[in-house]
Structure formats: C-alpha cells, structure tokens
C-alpha cells in the first residue's frame, strides 16, 4: 500500500492549509481590527507553507523510494507548466506583456521561484541534496535538526545584514539576494530538514507541547515582528503541528481524502490567477474579495478534478 494514503489527517490538513495560502495572498488579515484575532490569524496562515515543505520531505524520506529522478522530473514539469499558465493568464488579465516582464519571468522561474510557486522551486533545489545526505551519507536524524536550526539562524542573519545598508558589504548581500533567492533556499532548507527529522525521530510529547506553547506566546505577544514563515513562531508551531496531525487517526473513504489531497494542489496552483482576476473588480483587500477568491478557486479546482477524472485535460 502506498504509505501516503494512510495519512488521511495530513490530506485534510493540506486542503485546509491550501486555503490558508489563499488567505495570505489576498491580504485580508491586515484589515482585521481586533489585534488578538489578527495575530492568531497571522499565526495560523503563516504555518501553511512550512507545513507543505515538511509534508514533502517527510513522505519522501519514509518511503522506500528508488525513483527519485522520476518524482523530481514530474515536479519540474508541474512547476514549469503552472508557472507558464500563471504568467500567460495573469499577463492577459493585467495587459502586461513586454520584454521586461518576460525576462523577469525567466529570472524568477530559474533563480527565485515564480510567484507563489516558489515553494516548488525550493523543494526542487533543496530536497535532492537532503535526500542524498539521508540515503547516501547515512546522516542521523539529529543532523537534520542541526541543519534545520542552522539554516534558520543563517536565514535571519542574512536578512538582517542584507536590509541594513549601513553595514559593510550589506548592499552586496542585498544584490546577491535579489539575483538568487538565498532567502527562499534557506526557508526550504529549514523546513525540509525538519520534515526528515520528524520522519526519523520519535518526538517527545513534552518537547512538542513546550515548543507549540512558546510559539503561540511569541505570536500572540508579537515578540518577533519579522512576519510570515521566517517569524520565530513559524518553525516552532509548524514542527509541532505536523507532528500532531500525522498521528491523528481519521476513518473514511480513501477517495474522499484523495480528493482533499488533489484539491489542495490545484487550489495552490490556481489561486494566484484568480486573485489577479478578482483584483480587477475588487481593488482593495476585503472580506468580499477574499470570499470571491476562495469560492472561484474552489469551483475551478473542483471542475478540473472532475474533468480529469473523466479522462479529459490530463495535461493539466
């Protein structure tokens, strides 16, 4: 049996987290007046991308997976295909086709990660290296925790240094960050290493609960104002969240949870295009614009999944 099908709870949470990514990109949380609710919302949605990274490395590292090349070849095709679709459709919607936009697209595609699809780019760049360390070099689980922590610390140092132009060579660091996304690579390294560690180490419940408590306090007290998946609370909560979710036993039809898993991918791929379309009508972040994006994205994703189940549009 394919091991990934045994984790119904993970499939469900991937579906939920896909809509958290939609919520991030619609900028709707910033309009919430209540400070506590706003901080809780930020805390939840900014664990979405880390969750996806952890899922990716966790399942590849626990499977007896001999055909890594085939997996990454498929992932490259998905990344290039959906990047092109997003570039073309959003270009039509925004009437933005030029040589500069094409060059920017090519640069992002190869060196940064195109738009919201940078997550896939990060997996393609970093995960093959980590899997080689796991399978060929036989590194212990603790080594991947060290890699994760070191990557996160380096990430914070690079971002601090690169954005403080008064420091020596800071402009050089900033320029390098703009050419090749060191930030995205280090984010990917942080969370992909974490997934491999979780797959190969029995997490102490006390440690897990302590980490999530500290993470929640950091988020609610707004101790770290850096935001998104680089905030100090994000690795703490994401680490604990996945550790808990994977242990949840959920019964039900395999087809339902498979649908959740497939839908999470299409929601992730499509929502950027939908946001471009809705933004032409509802120009400022609002509950209405967020709801419109969520509903349209859900409908289009559902239609694609249904049509593909009938043997049509298999190229998508």
Residue 111 lies in a domain: yes
Decide which of 106 and 173 is more confident. Answer: 106
Range of the domain at 94: 3-309
Structure tokens at 54: 């952890």
Q: Of the given ranges (149-153, 183-187, 224-228), which has the lowest mean pLDDT?
A: 224-228
Q: What is the pLDDT of residue 78?
A: 96
Number of domains in the chain: 1
- Which residue from 311, 308, 275 is spatially nearest to 28, judged by alpha carbons? 275
**Inter-residue contact 209 to 237 (CB < 8 Å):** no
Compute how many other C-beta atoms are within 10 angstroms of the C-beta atom of residue 177.
18
> Tokens 């664990």 belong to which residue?
47
Residue 207 lies in a domain: yes
Region 247-264: what's the mean pLDDT?
92
SS (H, E, C) the chain: CCHHHHCHHHHHHHHHHHHHHHHHHHCCHHHCCCHHHHHHHHHHHCCHHHHHHHHHHHHHHHCCCCCHHHHHHHHHHHHHHHHHHHHHHHHHHHCCCCHHHHHHHHHHHHHHCCHHHHHHHHHHHHHHHHHHHHHCCCCCHHHHHHHHHHHHHHHHHHHHHHCCCCCCCHHHHHHHHHHCCHHHHHHHHHHHHHHHHHHCCCCCHHHHHHHHHHHHHHHHCCCCCCCHHHCCHHHHHHHHHHHHHCCCCCCCCHHHHHHHHHHHHHHHHHHHHHHHHHHCCCCCCCHHHHHHHHHHHHHHHHHHHHHHHCCCCCCC
Per-residue model confidence as pLDDT tens digits over 283-300: 999 999 999 999 999 999
In percent, the amount of the chain with pLDDT more than 70 equals 95
Looking at every residue in the chain, the average pLDDT score rounds to 90
Residue 282 lies in a domain: yes
**Inter-residue contact 301 to 267 (CB < 8 Å):** yes
**For residue 5, pLDDT beyond 50:** no
| Model confidence band, residue 2 (pLDDT cutoffs 50, 70, 90) | very low
Per-residue model confidence as pLDDT tens digits over 145-169: 999 999 999 998 888 876 676 677 7
Q: What is the pLDDT of residue 170?
A: 75
C-alpha span between 217 and 29 (Å, rounded) = 19
pTM attached to this predicted model:
0.92
Structure tokens at 224: 């770290």
Q: What angle do CA 297, 239, 22 make, to 5 degrees?
A: 15
**Inter-residue contact 139 to 201 (CB < 8 Å):** no
Compute how many other C-beta atoms are within 10 angstroms of the C-beta atom of residue 300.
16
Residue 315 lies in a domain: no
Residue 191 lies in a domain: yes
Structure tokens at 18: 């896909």
**For residue 35, pLDDT beyond 80:** yes
Region 61-84: what's the mean pLDDT?
86
In percent, the amount of the chain with pLDDT more than 90 equals 64
| Model confidence band, residue 108 (pLDDT cutoffs 50, 70, 90) | very high
Per-residue model confidence as pLDDT tens digits over 127-139: 999 998 988 778 8
Q: What is the pLDDT of residue 4?
A: 44
**For residue 273, pLDDT beyond 90:** yes
Residue 235 lies in a domain: yes
Residue 316 lies in a domain: no
Compute how many other C-beta atoms are within 10 angstroms of the C-beta atom of residue 123.
22
Residue 314 lies in a domain: no
Q: What is the pLDDT of residue 173?
A: 76
Greatest mean pLDDT range, 16-25, 152-161, 176-185: 16-25
- Which residue from 15, 202, 184 is spatially nearest to 113, judged by alpha carbons? 184
């Amino acid at each position: 049996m394919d091991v990934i099908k045994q984790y119904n709870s993970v499939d469900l949470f991937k579906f939920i987290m896909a809509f958290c990514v939609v919520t991030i990109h619609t900028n709707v949380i910033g309009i919430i007046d209540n400070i506590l609710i706003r901080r809780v919302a930020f805390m939840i949605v900014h664990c979405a991308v880390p969750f996806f990274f952890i899922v990716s490395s966790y399942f590849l590292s626990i499977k007896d997976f001999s055909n890594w090349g085939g997996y990454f070849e498929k992932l490259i095709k998905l990344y290039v295909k959906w990047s092109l679709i997003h570039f073309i459709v959003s270009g039509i919607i925004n009437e933005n086709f030029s040589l500069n936009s094409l060059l920017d697209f090519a640069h992002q595609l190869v060196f940064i990660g195109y738009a919201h699809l940078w997550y896939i780019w990060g997996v393609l760049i970093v995960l093959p290296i980590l899997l080689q360390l796991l399978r060929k070099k036989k590194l212990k689980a603790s080594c991947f925790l060290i890699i994760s922590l070191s990557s996160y610390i380096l990430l914070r140092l690079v971002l601090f240094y690169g954005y403080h132009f008064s420091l020596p060579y800071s402009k050089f660091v900033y320029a390098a960050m703009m050419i090749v996304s060191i930030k995205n690579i280090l984010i990917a390294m942080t969370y992909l290493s974490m997934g491999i560690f979780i797959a190969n180490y029995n997490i102490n419940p006390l440690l897990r609960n302590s980490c999530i408590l500290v993470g929640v306090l950091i988020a609610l007290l707004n101790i770290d104002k850096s935001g998104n998946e680089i905030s100090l609370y994000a690795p703490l909560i994401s680490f604990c969240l996945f550790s808990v979710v994977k242990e949840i036993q959920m019964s039900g039809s395999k087809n339902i949870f498979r649908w959740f898993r497939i839908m999470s991918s299409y929601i992730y791929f499509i929502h950027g295009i939908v946001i471009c379309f809705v933004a032409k009508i509802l120009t400022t972040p609002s509950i209405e614009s967020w709801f419109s994006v969520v509903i349209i994205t859900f409908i289009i994703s559902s239609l694609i999944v249904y049509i593909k189940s009938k043997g049509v549009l298999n190229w998508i």
